[in-house]
Structure 1
Amino acid sequence: MRRLTRRILLTLSLLLAVDVAVVATAAYLLTPWLSPARDAVAAALPVGAGVAWWVAVVVPALVAFVWAQLRYTRAQTLSDADAREVTRDEFPDLYDRVQRLSQQADVAMPTLAVADSPVPNSFAVGTFGSATVVVSEGLLATLDGDELDAVLAHELMHVSNRDATVMTLANFLPALTNGEYGPLDDSLPGARGSRLLAGVVGVGVAYVLSARFLSAPFGSVAFTAGFLVVFGLTVVVGGILLGVFTAPVVVLARSLSRAREYTADRSAAKLTGKPSALVGALQTLDADAAPTPATDKRRAYDGVSGLCFLPYGFDESGGDEFHLETRSHPPTAERIERLGDLLGDR
């Protein structure tokens, strides 16, 4: 457990360092267009222009970026899983089980959500202040009694260990780079014309602000050509650097994935006092798994599958679409073998 805690803290620290690099790079690349704001900040604060810019703009932008990652990724993951938050009145047995297990584990009661899928699976997502445990309708129909408790305890251990929060944070940049998430698309839902208009307006604003650093007459062919060159280079360089920054996030997430699952299994078995129940749940769910897809789902990850109790997510077909590999989900057989060692200790 201590080893996992150290690894989680290290991963979180490095993820925040990557976020600092992303925000600082964005601020640097956008400096030509943000120079009016930078000058205004420098004039308003009694410190050097560089320090004023960081204190008043870059640091708040970093905090907002981290907050937005957690909030957006949580919402997007729940949406991808077709999960909705539920109340005690709707699922009294599920609520009572999670409440009882939360009290035993000394964990704050998480929000509960149920995914509209017949595929039996579960996962947990979190922010720094709250967490959500998601189970599918298929899981509730497949398991009950001690086996259901064991799976719920496993998810609660992810919440308790804070690895649910770290993995939620780690999911954002890889998914953004891979094109799985589009914050602008979600902020302007169902309106392709609105998204196009927002992009045109953004380019237009950048064009006007370019007059601050382009010497050619505003609106001239030379001015427009200069703007296109600068704007294009900014976009290309920004995209390349985003990919560079994403690479260590992928490595960090993969290095943490197996350890978090093994630890959650062991902690859940100890919490319920019935390792055999978790072994039974793993065997039952693995037997009901979707047909093996073309890609190895123990290594592939699409924002939901890598967080799940078992790595096939909620997709009945399994699918063969491309996924950016950011998780290395441990094989079920290895998890059962390790739990078998725990059974031998009893």
Structure 2
Amino acid sequence: MKRIVLFLATNLAVMLVMSVVLSLLGANRFLTANGLDLGSLMVFSLVVGFTGSIISLLMSKPMAKWSTGARVIGTPSSSTELWLLDTVKRLSDRAGIAMPEVAVYDGEPNAFATGAFKNSALVAVSTGLLQSMTKDEVEAVLGHEIAHVANGDMVTLTLIQGVVNTFVVFLARVVGFLIDKAVFRNNDDRGPGIGYMVTVFVCEIVFGILASIIVAWFSRYREFRADAGSARLLGSPQPMVKALARLGGLSSDESLPQNFKSFGISGGSSGLASLFASHPPIEERIAALRGTR
């Protein structure tokens, strides 16, 4: 809840600063005089920017269960399920959070954590992960996911998406109005013209791409932080190093739906695609744990 309040306050503060800057530059008076109400646009941008992100966050657990076919372990039906519950309970106690729901889903080696609140989260592991890794390695992966929950990463990532969405919506319309007014329309016409609609459409695509780079950067940062969190929970970085090395040879994110891939433990790209990758390359994560990055 503190993170939600903090990021909402941050977003409102940034929008206020933007308004002040536009006023000092004279843009506020120019735009308002020519038919653009910045106050209403700011409110509109906030609503559009955050509504989808907040709804997505609140629905993340049921959507994750539905889209992956994850089965929440109530009463364990095997020694593996009993071990999973005991391990998650031990790690969550160390992290100072309530025990998350624990689920298993069919798929290639991977795991994820999600949920709107850190004391009512979901941690899920794939059957491929359980079959291909040792218990020490699985424990390290669970530590990584518990660290995500303890850090509030699901909430923070979602709210950062809301912040950048707000900027995209706001700036696209300001630019669209200016270009429409200067290039496509005469000053007597106060209604939005075709130039406005086309410019807003193009700007939302361009600004959206730039926003995606920002969100992806934070997603990669939180993976390093969760790896370090797993090392702290287990008392050593070695189990996480071994788990990542194993994932480097086995991992595949094809078992996770597109909208949940950033929540998985595996991933990473190289070259230009790395700007949009939700995960750093495995070798960089191992180097960070070893202190050589």
Normalized against structure 1, the TM-score is what?
0.53
Does the 8 Å CA contact 1:174/1:326 hold for their aligned counterparts?
A: no
Which of residues 75, 79, 92 in structure 2 aligns to 1:89?
75
Q: Deviations over 1:183-231 (max 9, x none)?
A: xxxxxxxxxxxxxxxxxxxxxxxxxxxxxxxxxxxxxxxxxxxxxxx9x
Q: Equivalent residue for 1:329?
A: 279
- Where does 1:13-28 land on structure 2 (aligned, <5 Å)? 16=11
Shift of 1:122: 1.0
| Map of 1:280 onto structure 2 | 242
Distance 1:333 1:62 in 2: 35
Q: Kindly provide the CA deviation profile for residues 144-187 of structure 1, in whole angstroms up to 9, marking residues without a partner as x.
A: 42221111011111111111222245568999xxxxxxxxxxxx
In structure 2, the CA distance between the partners of 1:131 and 1:83, relative to structure 1 (3 Å rule), is same
Q: 1:153 aligns with which of 134, 138, 143?
A: 143
Does structure 2 conserve the Cα–Cα contact (< 8 Å) formed by 1:85 and 1:111? no
Deviation string 1:17-67 (CA, Å, 9 cap, x unpaired) is 6xx9xxxxxxxxxxxxxxxxxxxxxxxxxxxxx999x99x99888875553
Residues 158 and 303 of structure 1: is their aligned pair in 2 closer, same or farther, counting only changes over 3 Å? same
Contact map agreement 1:173 1:246 (CA 8 A) in 2? no
Structure 1: state its 5+ residue gaps: 1-7, 21-49, 176-229, 294-300, 313-322
Distance 1:58 1:64 in 2: 10
Matches within 5 A, 1:129-148: 130-148=120-138
* 1:166 is the counterpart of 2:156: yes
- 8 Å contact kept, 2:53–2:162: no
1:67 to 38, 54, 61: 54
Residues 334, 310 of structure 1: alpha-carbon distance in 2 compared, 3 angstrom cutoff: same
Q: 1:107 aligns with which of 84, 97, 103?
A: 97
How many percent identity over aligned positions? 30
Pairwise CA RMSD of aligned residues? Answer: 4.6
2:212 is aligned with 1:250: yes
Distance 1:156 1:290, change over 3 A: closer
Distance 1:324 1:287 in 2: 19
- The number of residue pairs the alignment matches comes to 234
Written as runs of structure 1 = structure 2, the 5 A alignment for 1:2-13 is 12=7
Residues in 1 aligned to 2:135 and 2:50: alpha-carbon distance in whole angstroms: 43
TM-score, normalised on structure 2?
A: 0.61
Which of the two has higher C-alpha Rg? Answer: 1
- Counterparts of 1:239 and 1:73, CA distance in 2: 28
